[in-house]
Every structure is written in structure tokens, then in C-alpha cells.
Structure 1
Amino acid sequence: MSSTNRRSTRQLILDVTAELLERLGAEVVSIRDVCQAAEVTAPTVYHHFGDKKGLFEAVATEGFDRYLANKRSHGPSEDPMEDLRRGWQNHVEFGLAHPAFYGLMFGAGRTTRHPAAKEGDEILQAILARLAEQGRLRVLPEQAARTIHAAAVGTTSLLISDPGAPGNEGLSDRTRDAVFAAVTTQEPAAGDPLGEQARTLLATLVARQGEVPLTPGELGIFLELLRKLG
């Protein structure tokens, strides 16, 4: 079998598994189901993915490819706050449209973060770095990123697991607005100029570490001092 055919078979198995997951759920889908739907043998699945866990992890990677494609298609706008809002909206909409993918990507069953999540983290960090440079973050960029990510995943997971619950209407917008208000400000924060300058410089250095003429040790000490000041 040629390498092209091997890739096609692998992609077929991924596509079929994703369709079964969306229709039946991860708890129900078996290797036998995948083999029957894809018209392949179990050894073929094991050859490409090792086992069921490996297959589901590959489906999660496929999910991240689709999820990040939308983020990659939008370059930074002139307003990082608008980029932050769009990122939240895209996250929630993807989860609701692809709940099986979302569960494998961000679900409670994961014991470690998927490696492909790093790119999404970097996109969020870049937006927050721009906000920090404008003096529009109330907390450090890494704190804001963790807060926003936790809230987005929690909100999306809740909407997926209990879509008809009372109070769900407008839940995403309410949560987004509350979280954004907690970590950002419309105007540069006042009352703590030294801390604000430290947070702004910290965000700039974190975003541009490769351009800083300091050794890793010197940079680490400098960043730690800025974190304390901020």
C-alpha cells in the first residue's frame, strides 16, 4: 500500500470516529464500531493508532486542527479587547457545534493538557500582552489567561452537558462580561503607577523574550522582580 493510501486510510478512520463520537458519545463508541463504519479491520486501526486511547487522542488532535483553523484565519485587529471577545465566542461556539471533539480536547477525563492546546494558549497570551502594554490588565497576563481559560471551558462544558437548563440563556455572555471585568479595564488602571508599569513591562518581556539581550538567568531574575512589583 502506498504512503498516500496509508494516509487516506488513517484520515478515513479519524473522520469515521469523529462522526461516531458526535452521534453516540465517547462512552459508547468501540473499536468494533469504528471498524464496521470505516470498513477496515481492527489490526488496521491498531496499526495507525495503537489502541483506543491513541485513536481518541488523534481525534482530539483533529479537533484542535479544526478549532485553531478559525483562530489562525483572524489576524490581530486594532483592538485587542475585541480580539479577546471574538476568541471567547469562537471557543464557546466550537464546543456547542462539536461536543464530542470538545470533550476529548478539554473534558474532565483528560489528566494532562493536549500538546496542541499550546498554540491556543499562545494566541490568548499575545492578546493579553497587547492589553497589558496598553495598561488595560488588572492582573498579570498569566493570571488573566488562566482565569479566562477556566471560565470559558467551564461555561462551554456546562452548556454542553445541560443545554436546556433554566438560566442558560445568555450564560456565556454574562460569564464573559463578569470575567473580563475582573481581569481587564476599559482604561489604564489608576492608583498604582509602579505596579502598572511593572505589569506592562512584564507582559512585553514575556511576549518578546527572544529579543531581550539578557542571559536566561538574568531574565528569570528580572521577571521575578517584575512579578513581585506587579
Structure 2
Amino acid sequence: MSDAKTAGSSRDETRAQLVEVAAQLISEHGAAAVTTRAVAQAAGVQAPTIYRLFGDKDGLLDAVTEHVFAAYIAGKKLAEDDSDPVVALRAGWDTHIGFGLANAALFGLINDPARNAGTSAANTAGVAVLRARVHRVAAIGRLRVPERRAVELIRAAGTGTVLTLLSMPEQDRDPDLADAMFDAVMRSILTDAPALAEDSPAAAAVAFRTVVPELPMLTATERALMSEWLDRATASQQSGRPA
């Protein structure tokens, strides 16, 4: 093995060790226990190593989030039916709730506004998955609101549900709260199947909006204009006002 490969292997091993140590500290002692000094000491390395490998403590926490979430997913069998985008949306919701309840301290860090957590790599990746699932629902004509609004509603409801449950003693938690919240959000963003008459124009506009960026016969300006028209049409259907 060359010196470069040896150095790369050693770097990866050190990185993995730091992530494991930080995850254990969070699990056992909470978020306050995670400092660069504490992690470095527990891992048997110098503190500058963390900055060299992760950039800063937030970079380390992002890596911990990705690691713990990957381990959580690996231990679960996701009931995700690719033939039904709404089923996939529900599977994602259940995964989000389960992960949050199983990793309370880490979930609090992920959603801490003081950390600018909304722009973290882990958070960005999670939102991208949610957007893709919502896009699939829109593409089959089941979405009555714009995709962005649907994503924001699901994110707000999911995060709020987990934080509300975590604020209670475990024995006092309502086991049906997450299901009730999901059903409430779905009633506000989905059309019936098949779509009711009053839902059809909005659902059609949202569905068509998903394919506008892929229409090669239109110029970029025309695609932008059509997207704007469809967004206005959807908004007017929701408000009851003419576009």
C-alpha cells in the first residue's frame, strides 16, 4: 500500500472514530457535552484534528447526524411502495418521527435555530428527499397546493410533532398524535382520489407545473412565464379570488 493510501485510510479511520465518539457523547450526556475539546480528548486526538477533518464543530455534528440517521435507516425496513407516491410520503413521515423520538438530543441539535441548522448538509439532504416525494405526488394530480407549500407544511408539522412529544414524559405521550397530525396535513394538501370537481383545476395546475421545466419546445423565458401563470392559478383557486 502506498503512503498516500495509508494516509487516506488513517484519515478515514480517524474521521469515523470522531463521529462515533461524538454520537456517543450526545446519546449519553446530551448536546451540551459535545465540545471540540471533549470529543478530541475522548477520541485520543488533538482538537485541531476536528477542524482539519470537519471544518468546525457544526461540520462534525452534520457528520454525526448523517451517520446516526444512516444507522437508523439500516435497522428498519421501510414500507415504501414506489407505485404509490402518497404511501412513500407516509413512509418518509414515519421515518422522520421515529428517528426524532429515538434520537432526542440529536434531533434538538438538527433543529436548533442558533446553529443555522436549516442550512446544514444533513438538513438539506433531508429536505431534498421530501421535495422529491412531494413532486411525485404533484405529478399524479393529487396535490391541491403548490409543491413548496406542501413541503413547508409537512416539515413544520413533522418537526413540531416530534418536539411536542419530546417535551412530554414518555409515559404521557399520545401514541396517536403523529398519525393524527399526518392525516390533518394530508387533508389540507391532497385532493381526494379521484379528485373532486372543486379540486380538479388546482390539482391539474399543480400537476402541469411539475412538467413545465421539461418542455423543450419552450424557451427559458416562456417556461418561467408559464410557471408563474400556473402558480397564480393555483393560488387563486385556494383563495377563491380570480387570478
TM-score, reference length from structure 2: 0.79
1:218 matched to 2:225? The reply is no
Which amino acid in structure 1 is aligned with residue 16 of structure 2? Q
Which amino acid in structure 1 is aligned with residue 204 of structure 2? Q
* Cα offsets for 1:80-129 (capped at 9, x unmatched): 22111111001111111222332333334332422343443333233323
TM-score, reference length from structure 1: 0.83
* Cα offsets for 1:37-85 (capped at 9, x unmatched): 21222233333234434432433343455577789x7765222221111
Query: Given that residues 138 and 189 in structure 1 are in contact (C-alpha distance below 8 angstroms), is that contact kept between their aligned partners in structure 2?
Result: no
Root-mean-square deviation over aligned CA pairs = 2.9
SS at match of 1:191: coil
Q: Paired residue for 1:85?
A: 90
Q: Paired residue for 1:198?
A: 205
Runs of at least 5 residues in structure 1 that lack an aligned partner in the other structure: none
Q: Which moved more, 1:211-220 or 1:81-90?
A: 211-220
Query: Given that residues 62 and 122 in structure 2 are in contact (C-alpha distance below 8 angstroms), is that contact kept between their aligned partners in structure 1?
Result: no
1:22 to 27, 39, 43: 27
Query: Given that residues 129 and 204 in structure 1 are in contact (C-alpha distance below 8 angstroms), is that contact kept between their aligned partners in structure 2?
Result: no
1:100 matched to 2:100? The reply is no
The Cα of 1:18 is off from its aligned counterpart by 0.9
Query: Given that residues 40 and 46 in structure 2 are in contact (C-alpha distance below 8 angstroms), is that contact kept between their aligned partners in structure 1?
Result: yes
Which amino acid in structure 1 is aligned with residue 129 of structure 2? I
The Cα of 1:189 is off from its aligned counterpart by 3.2
Which amino acid in structure 2 is aligned with residue 121 of structure 1? V
SS at match of 2:31: coil
1:58 matched to 2:66? The reply is no
Which amino acid in structure 1 is aligned with residue 108 of structure 2? G
The Cα of 1:177 is off from its aligned counterpart by 1.1
Query: Given that residues 104 and 166 in structure 2 are in contact (C-alpha distance below 8 angstroms), is that contact kept between their aligned partners in structure 1?
Result: yes
Which amino acid in structure 1 is aligned with residue 45 of structure 2? V
What is the CA–CA distance in structure 2 between the aligned matches of 1:76 and 1:216, rounded to whole Å?
35
Which amino acid in structure 2 is aligned with residue 132 of structure 1? A
The Cα of 1:162 is off from its aligned counterpart by 2.6
Runs of at least 5 residues in structure 2 that lack an aligned partner in the other structure: 1-5, 235-243
Q: Paired residue for 2:183?
A: 177
The Cα of 1:183 is off from its aligned counterpart by 1.0
Query: Given that residues 151 and 175 in structure 1 are in contact (C-alpha distance below 8 angstroms), is that contact kept between their aligned partners in structure 2?
Result: yes
SS at match of 1:102: helix
The Cα of 1:198 is off from its aligned counterpart by 1.4
Query: Given that residues 96 and 156 in structure 1 are in contact (C-alpha distance below 8 angstroms), is that contact kept between their aligned partners in structure 2?
Result: yes
Higher relative contact order (CA 8 A, sep 6+): 1
Over 3 Å counting, the alpha-carbon distance change for 1:40 and 1:140 in structure 2 is same
Q: Paired residue for 1:143?
A: 149
